[in-house]
Amino acid sequence: MQLQSEDKSIDMYLAVAQAPAVLAGPAARLDWLEQQLDSHRQAGFDLLVLPELFACGYNIGDDVKLLAEPADGPIARQISALARRFNLAIHYGFAERDGDNLYNAAQAFGPDGMRLARHRKLILPPGFESDYFSIGRHIDVFDYCGLRIATLICYDAEFPELARQAALRGADIILVPTALAQQWGWVANQMMPTRGFENGVFLAYANHAGTENGLSYLGASFIAAPDGEILARAGATAEVITAKIAKSRVKDAQNRLPYHRDVGKIQLDDAPPSADTL
Protein backbone atom coordinates (compact mmCIF):
# COMPACT_ATOMS: atom_id res chain seq x y z
CA MET A 1 0.00 0.00 0.00
CA GLN A 2 1.27 3.46 -0.86
CA LEU A 3 1.40 6.10 1.83
CA GLN A 4 -1.71 8.24 1.80
CA SER A 5 0.19 11.30 3.05
CA GLU A 6 1.66 13.64 0.42
CA ASP A 7 4.97 13.82 2.32
CA LYS A 8 7.22 11.44 0.38
CA SER A 9 9.74 11.26 3.24
CA ILE A 10 7.11 9.61 5.42
CA ASP A 11 6.51 5.89 5.10
CA MET A 12 3.34 5.50 7.15
CA TYR A 13 0.63 7.52 8.88
CA LEU A 14 -0.01 5.68 12.15
CA ALA A 15 -2.99 6.09 14.48
CA VAL A 16 -3.64 4.69 17.96
CA ALA A 17 -7.24 4.52 19.18
CA GLN A 18 -7.55 4.76 22.96
CA ALA A 19 -10.94 3.09 23.32
CA PRO A 20 -13.52 3.71 26.06
CA ALA A 21 -13.57 0.77 28.46
CA VAL A 22 -17.32 1.11 29.14
CA LEU A 23 -18.25 -0.31 25.74
CA ALA A 24 -20.32 -3.39 26.55
CA GLY A 25 -19.73 -6.31 24.21
CA PRO A 26 -18.38 -6.76 20.70
CA ALA A 27 -21.30 -5.05 18.93
CA ALA A 28 -20.82 -1.80 20.86
CA ARG A 29 -17.06 -1.97 20.34
CA LEU A 30 -17.36 -2.49 16.60
CA ASP A 31 -19.90 0.33 16.36
CA TRP A 32 -17.47 2.65 18.17
CA LEU A 33 -14.64 1.59 15.87
CA GLU A 34 -16.74 2.24 12.78
CA GLN A 35 -17.66 5.69 14.10
CA GLN A 36 -14.00 6.54 14.66
CA LEU A 37 -13.02 5.37 11.20
CA ASP A 38 -15.83 7.34 9.63
CA SER A 39 -15.09 10.55 11.54
CA HIS A 40 -11.38 10.32 10.68
CA ARG A 41 -11.92 9.17 7.10
CA GLN A 42 -10.26 12.23 5.58
CA ALA A 43 -7.11 11.82 7.69
CA GLY A 44 -5.85 8.98 5.51
CA PHE A 45 -4.45 6.66 8.20
CA ASP A 46 -2.41 3.72 6.96
CA LEU A 47 -2.65 1.74 10.21
CA LEU A 48 -4.93 1.99 13.26
CA VAL A 49 -3.88 0.21 16.49
CA LEU A 50 -6.46 -0.77 19.13
CA PRO A 51 -6.00 -1.95 22.75
CA GLU A 52 -5.52 -5.39 24.28
CA LEU A 53 -8.66 -7.56 24.05
CA PHE A 54 -10.46 -4.66 22.39
CA ALA A 55 -12.95 -6.92 20.63
CA CYS A 56 -14.44 -8.40 23.80
CA GLY A 57 -13.20 -6.26 26.69
CA TYR A 58 -10.43 -7.04 29.16
CA ASN A 59 -11.91 -7.15 32.67
CA ILE A 60 -14.89 -9.37 31.86
CA GLY A 61 -14.20 -12.52 33.90
CA ASP A 62 -15.87 -15.72 32.68
CA ASP A 63 -17.44 -13.89 29.75
CA VAL A 64 -14.10 -14.14 28.00
CA LYS A 65 -14.87 -17.81 27.38
CA LEU A 66 -18.18 -16.91 25.75
CA LEU A 67 -16.75 -14.12 23.61
CA ALA A 68 -13.58 -15.87 22.45
CA GLU A 69 -13.60 -16.80 18.77
CA PRO A 70 -11.31 -18.34 16.16
CA ALA A 71 -8.92 -16.03 14.37
CA ASP A 72 -11.28 -16.00 11.38
CA GLY A 73 -14.47 -15.68 13.45
CA PRO A 74 -17.37 -13.21 13.10
CA ILE A 75 -15.59 -10.27 14.76
CA ALA A 76 -12.50 -10.85 12.61
CA ARG A 77 -14.64 -10.86 9.46
CA GLN A 78 -16.29 -7.57 10.46
CA ILE A 79 -12.95 -5.90 11.17
CA SER A 80 -11.59 -7.23 7.89
CA ALA A 81 -14.58 -5.65 6.14
CA LEU A 82 -13.94 -2.32 7.90
CA ALA A 83 -10.30 -2.43 6.82
CA ARG A 84 -11.41 -2.87 3.19
CA ARG A 85 -14.13 -0.23 3.42
CA PHE A 86 -11.88 2.43 4.93
CA ASN A 87 -8.74 1.40 3.02
CA LEU A 88 -6.35 0.95 5.94
CA ALA A 89 -4.89 -1.72 8.20
CA ILE A 90 -6.55 -2.41 11.56
CA HIS A 91 -4.62 -4.04 14.40
CA TYR A 92 -6.71 -5.14 17.40
CA GLY A 93 -6.67 -7.37 20.46
CA PHE A 94 -9.12 -10.25 20.87
CA ALA A 95 -9.66 -13.48 22.78
CA GLU A 96 -8.73 -16.29 20.39
CA ARG A 97 -10.22 -19.75 20.64
CA ASP A 98 -8.15 -22.56 19.13
CA GLY A 99 -9.56 -25.95 20.00
CA ASP A 100 -9.66 -26.26 23.78
CA ASN A 101 -7.23 -23.36 24.28
CA LEU A 102 -7.83 -19.64 24.66
CA TYR A 103 -5.19 -17.04 23.85
CA ASN A 104 -4.85 -13.35 24.58
CA ALA A 105 -4.16 -12.45 20.97
CA ALA A 106 -3.85 -9.58 18.53
CA GLN A 107 -4.05 -9.56 14.77
CA ALA A 108 -4.05 -7.14 11.86
CA PHE A 109 -6.02 -7.00 8.63
CA GLY A 110 -4.79 -4.97 5.68
CA PRO A 111 -6.72 -2.68 3.32
CA ASP A 112 -7.40 -5.67 1.08
CA GLY A 113 -9.10 -7.43 4.01
CA MET A 114 -6.40 -10.09 4.27
CA ARG A 115 -4.69 -10.96 7.55
CA LEU A 116 -1.25 -9.40 7.88
CA ALA A 117 -0.21 -10.95 11.18
CA ARG A 118 -1.34 -12.59 14.42
CA HIS A 119 0.36 -12.66 17.83
CA ARG A 120 -0.43 -14.62 20.99
CA LYS A 121 0.65 -13.11 24.31
CA LEU A 122 3.93 -14.69 25.41
CA ILE A 123 3.92 -13.99 29.16
CA LEU A 124 0.76 -13.97 31.26
CA PRO A 125 0.89 -11.69 34.32
CA PRO A 126 -0.38 -12.68 37.75
CA GLY A 127 -4.17 -12.51 37.93
CA PHE A 128 -7.07 -13.66 35.83
CA GLU A 129 -5.14 -14.05 32.56
CA SER A 130 -3.30 -17.11 33.84
CA ASP A 131 -6.64 -18.68 34.73
CA TYR A 132 -8.06 -18.38 31.22
CA PHE A 133 -5.30 -18.16 28.63
CA SER A 134 -2.55 -20.35 27.25
CA ILE A 135 0.80 -18.82 26.31
CA GLY A 136 2.02 -17.98 22.83
CA ARG A 137 5.45 -19.03 21.59
CA HIS A 138 6.36 -16.83 18.62
CA ILE A 139 7.31 -13.28 17.71
CA ASP A 140 6.35 -12.69 14.11
CA VAL A 141 7.34 -9.64 12.06
CA PHE A 142 5.23 -8.55 9.11
CA ASP A 143 5.77 -6.11 6.24
CA TYR A 144 3.51 -3.14 5.62
CA CYS A 145 4.11 0.24 3.95
CA GLY A 146 7.77 -0.67 3.50
CA LEU A 147 8.20 -1.17 7.26
CA ARG A 148 8.77 -4.24 9.40
CA ILE A 149 6.28 -4.47 12.26
CA ALA A 150 6.13 -6.69 15.36
CA THR A 151 3.54 -7.09 18.12
CA LEU A 152 4.03 -7.52 21.86
CA ILE A 153 0.96 -7.52 24.10
CA CYS A 154 1.09 -5.48 27.31
CA TYR A 155 3.19 -7.49 29.82
CA ASP A 156 5.25 -8.94 26.95
CA ALA A 157 6.78 -5.53 26.30
CA GLU A 158 7.76 -5.02 29.93
CA PHE A 159 10.52 -7.61 29.39
CA PRO A 160 13.47 -5.98 27.60
CA GLU A 161 14.46 -9.38 26.23
CA LEU A 162 11.28 -9.59 24.13
CA ALA A 163 11.52 -6.08 22.72
CA ARG A 164 15.14 -6.82 21.83
CA GLN A 165 14.12 -10.05 20.11
CA ALA A 166 11.51 -8.19 18.06
CA ALA A 167 14.10 -5.61 17.01
CA LEU A 168 16.69 -8.26 16.16
CA ARG A 169 14.08 -9.86 13.90
CA GLY A 170 14.12 -6.63 11.94
CA ALA A 171 11.16 -4.73 13.41
CA ASP A 172 11.06 -1.00 12.71
CA ILE A 173 7.92 -0.60 14.82
CA ILE A 174 6.67 -2.53 17.85
CA LEU A 175 2.90 -2.35 18.40
CA VAL A 176 1.84 -2.84 22.01
CA PRO A 177 -1.89 -3.26 22.67
CA THR A 178 -2.33 -3.02 26.44
CA ALA A 179 -4.81 -2.93 29.33
CA LEU A 180 -2.73 -0.89 31.76
CA ALA A 181 -4.41 0.01 35.04
CA GLN A 182 -4.32 3.46 36.58
CA GLN A 183 -1.67 2.66 39.21
CA TRP A 184 1.00 1.75 36.63
CA GLY A 185 1.77 5.20 35.25
CA TRP A 186 5.53 4.64 35.35
CA VAL A 187 5.18 1.79 32.86
CA ALA A 188 3.46 3.95 30.25
CA ASN A 189 5.42 7.12 30.89
CA GLN A 190 8.97 5.84 31.41
CA MET A 191 9.39 2.11 30.79
CA MET A 192 7.64 1.75 27.44
CA PRO A 193 9.31 4.70 25.68
CA THR A 194 12.60 3.25 26.92
CA ARG A 195 11.83 -0.05 25.16
CA GLY A 196 11.73 1.81 21.85
CA PHE A 197 14.78 3.94 22.64
CA GLU A 198 17.03 1.07 23.71
CA ASN A 199 16.26 -0.73 20.44
CA GLY A 200 16.11 2.25 18.10
CA VAL A 201 12.56 1.48 16.93
CA PHE A 202 9.18 3.19 16.91
CA LEU A 203 6.78 2.01 19.60
CA ALA A 204 2.99 2.43 19.60
CA TYR A 205 1.20 1.79 22.89
CA ALA A 206 -2.61 1.43 22.76
CA ASN A 207 -4.49 1.43 26.08
CA HIS A 208 -8.12 1.61 27.19
CA ALA A 209 -9.63 4.66 28.91
CA GLY A 210 -12.09 4.87 31.78
CA THR A 211 -13.40 2.09 34.01
CA GLU A 212 -14.51 -1.44 33.16
CA ASN A 213 -16.22 -3.54 35.82
CA GLY A 214 -14.30 -1.80 38.59
CA LEU A 215 -10.93 -1.68 36.83
CA SER A 216 -9.74 1.87 36.12
CA TYR A 217 -7.39 2.25 33.18
CA LEU A 218 -4.57 4.77 32.94
CA GLY A 219 -5.08 5.82 29.33
CA ALA A 220 -1.78 7.53 28.37
CA SER A 221 -1.48 5.74 25.03
CA PHE A 222 1.42 7.07 22.97
CA ILE A 223 3.52 6.83 19.84
CA ALA A 224 7.28 7.19 20.37
CA ALA A 225 10.11 7.68 17.89
CA PRO A 226 13.30 5.56 17.87
CA ASP A 227 15.24 8.34 19.60
CA GLY A 228 12.75 8.44 22.48
CA GLU A 229 10.76 11.47 21.28
CA ILE A 230 7.08 11.18 22.18
CA LEU A 231 5.31 11.99 18.91
CA ALA A 232 1.80 11.81 20.37
CA ARG A 233 0.38 11.13 23.84
CA ALA A 234 -3.23 10.59 24.89
CA GLY A 235 -4.77 11.76 28.13
CA ALA A 236 -7.13 9.83 30.38
CA THR A 237 -10.18 9.78 28.10
CA ALA A 238 -10.99 8.09 24.81
CA GLU A 239 -9.28 9.62 21.79
CA VAL A 240 -7.33 8.90 18.62
CA ILE A 241 -3.69 10.01 18.42
CA THR A 242 -1.54 10.04 15.28
CA ALA A 243 2.04 10.28 14.09
CA LYS A 244 3.95 10.11 10.83
CA ILE A 245 6.50 7.30 10.65
CA ALA A 246 9.75 7.55 8.70
CA LYS A 247 11.87 4.40 8.49
CA SER A 248 14.99 6.53 8.10
CA ARG A 249 14.67 7.50 11.77
CA VAL A 250 15.20 3.84 12.74
CA LYS A 251 18.50 3.63 10.87
CA ASP A 252 19.63 6.95 12.27
CA ALA A 253 18.84 5.94 15.85
CA GLN A 254 20.48 2.53 15.58
CA ASN A 255 23.62 4.01 14.03
CA ARG A 256 23.81 6.61 16.78
CA LEU A 257 23.39 4.06 19.57
CA PRO A 258 24.55 0.69 18.19
CA TYR A 259 23.27 -1.40 21.09
CA HIS A 260 22.38 -4.36 18.86
CA ARG A 261 25.92 -4.54 17.52
CA ASP A 262 27.74 -3.92 20.77
CA VAL A 263 25.73 -6.28 22.96
CA GLY A 264 27.68 -9.08 21.29
CA LYS A 265 30.89 -7.69 22.77
CA ILE A 266 29.83 -8.47 26.32
CA GLN A 267 32.00 -11.20 27.83
CA LEU A 268 31.25 -12.50 31.32
CA ASP A 269 33.40 -15.10 33.01
CA ASP A 270 30.77 -16.14 35.51
CA ALA A 271 27.55 -17.93 34.68
CA PRO A 272 24.36 -15.91 35.26
CA PRO A 273 22.51 -16.66 38.51
CA SER A 274 19.25 -18.53 38.32
CA ALA A 275 16.05 -16.84 39.44
CA ASP A 276 16.00 -19.07 42.50
CA THR A 277 19.28 -17.59 43.77
CA LEU A 278 18.25 -13.94 43.44
Residues annotated as catalytic are 52, 121, 154
d(CA 92, CA 236): 20
Strand partners, 241: 16
Which helix (H) or strand (E) covers residue 37, if one does? helix 25-39
Q: Tell me the backbone φ, ψ of residue 257, rounded to 5 degrees.
A: -125, 90
Is residue 222 within a helix (H) or strand (E), and if so which, with residue range? strand 222-224
Q: How far is the CA of 154 from the CAs of 37, 133, 205, 259, in angstroms? A: 24, 14, 9, 23
CA distances from 263 to 64, 102, 256 (A): 41, 36, 14
The residue count of the chain comes to: 278
Query: Which whole-number Å values give the CA distances from 35 to 30, 165, 234, 242, in the listed order?
Result: 9, 36, 19, 17
246 CA to centre of own chain: 18
Q: 94 near 106, Cβ under 8 Å?
A: yes
Q: Return the half-sphere exposure (C-beta side, CA atoms, 13 A cut-off) of residue 117.
A: 24
Residue type, 138: H
